Amino acid sequence: MKTYNCIILDDDEIDQLMTTSFIKRIPSINIVAVCCSADEAFKILDDNHIDILFLDIDMPDTNGLEFRKRAMQIPVCIYISAHSEFAVESFELDTLDFLVKPLKFDRFERAITRINDYFEMKEKVALFESEIGGDTIFIKDGHHQTKIKLHEILYLEALKDYTKIVTENKKHCVLTSLGNLLKEESFKNFIRIHRSYATQKMFVDTIQSFDVILKNKTALPIGRSFKDNLKAFIL
């Protein structure tokens, strides 16, 4: 099993311990250091290759947002913060996920799944090539092309520069951002409900306060800045 190096940057000792205990339950992630200040973390970056950053926002001296701006070489950044009002700003800094304190393991596991998906897709990524008309698109994977019917796509999930295309039976990945993919004429029927998710009206079963439940029971989060888009599901 491939392992990835991470550091935890959080000035709260209790939150450090909680995050550390959760990560230790994930065999694919190795904790290189647990830091309580940006200066301490920068010293770790000088001497180690880091794949994943678990980062708080509200810290003395250099806050988490400023730290990320100076550490963009780390591929994956996961914010763990009590300040959800910074979520939108954090995603402008190449953030893969934003977890709200107090941290719960089931939500942490979902973040780990996204991390694994990201690295897997980075190693082997299919390229979105072109529409071939009607309800079908091509996904180019190396020298092969896979044909996907648009009406079979349950949802789209953003993973930084990639987008995961999820059908009932398979997951694909394309090397384009979710925002750019949704500008394609082929994806005009998809409705963005979160910075990281878009789905189609025909697959929505229930709209709850914080989630959209699909007919296959998948729950997708609703982003505050995308709540107006939900009106499309009931028109």
What's the confidence (pLDDT) of residue 186? 85
Calpha distance 150→143 (Å, rounded): 22
What's the confidence (pLDDT) of residue 173? 84
Sorted by where each begins, the domain ranges of the chain are: 4-122, 125-234
From residue 199, alpha-carbon distances to 108, 109, 136, 150 in Å are 23, 22, 17, 11
Domain 125-234 CATH (choose: 3.40.190.80, 2.40.50.1020, 3.40.50.300, 1.10.10.350): 2.40.50.1020
Given a cut of 50, the residues of the chain with pLDDT beneath it are 130, 132
Query: Is 125-234 in the same CATH topology as 4-122?
Result: no
Calpha distance 30→32 (Å, rounded): 6
What's the confidence (pLDDT) of residue 128? 61
Calpha distance 54→171 (Å, rounded): 26
What's the confidence (pLDDT) of residue 143? 66
For 4-122, give the CATH class: alpha beta
What's the confidence (pLDDT) of residue 114? 92
What's the confidence (pLDDT) of residue 148? 87
Calpha distance 63→58 (Å, rounded): 6
